[in-house]
């Protein structure tokens, strides 16, 4: 398993590389992180954070491409009045740098702009 693996694996392919997204644990600072590999079953090399910590004791998520843009889906417990087992689904746009590295997402309360055009 890649460095810091906790749970909740998700793999997607982009530009010939496989991205292994996972939770790095259950601490108050845990988040989704990722590793990159050339094959869907690895080996994978740790590459960094997908996103900053979202308000929840766990950080599970997935990544999708829609109308030419990439999005990270995750959950928070911000609306649960202190009950960390009640979670709300969130989505934010995911972008990559010129080397294919994920630019770390800061969780938002507004989400991404509507997708209006197909590419």
Q: Tens digits of per-residue pLDDT, 47-102?
A: 999 998 887 777 888 999 999 999 999 888 777 776 666 678 889 999 999 999 99
Q: Tens digits of per-residue pLDDT, 99-118?
A: 999 999 998 878 888 877 65
Answer for the pair 74, 90: CB distance below 8 angstroms, yes or no.
yes
For 32, the token pair is 């989704």
Locate tokens 């979670």: which residue?
Answer: 87
Does the pLDDT of residue 23 top 60, yes or no? yes
Q: Tens digits of per-residue pLDDT, 28-45?
A: 788 999 999 999 999 999
- Measured CA to CA, the distance from residue 12 to residue 64 in angstroms comes to 8
pLDDT at 117: 61
Does the pLDDT of residue 13 top 80, yes or no? yes
pLDDT at 119: 54
Q: What angle do CA 112, 63, 61 make, to 5 degrees?
A: 95
- Measured CA to CA, the distance from residue 114 to residue 104 in angstroms comes to 20
For 31, the token pair is 């988040």
């Amino acid at each position: 398993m890649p460095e810091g693996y906790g749970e909740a694996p998700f793999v997607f392919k982009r530009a010939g590389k496989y991205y292994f997204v996972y939770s790095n644990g259950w601490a108050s600072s845990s988040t989704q992180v990722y590793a990159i590999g050339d094959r869907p079953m690895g080996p994978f090399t740790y590459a960094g954070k997908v996103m900053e910590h979202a308000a929840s004791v766990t950080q599970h998520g997935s990544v999708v491409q829609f109308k030419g843009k990439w999005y990270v889906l995750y959950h928070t417990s911000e609306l649960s009045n202190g009950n960390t087992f009640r979670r709300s689904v969130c989505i934010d746009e995911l972008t990559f740098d010129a080397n294919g590295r994920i630019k770390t997402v800061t969780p938002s309360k507004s989400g991404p702009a509507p997708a209006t055009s197909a590419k």
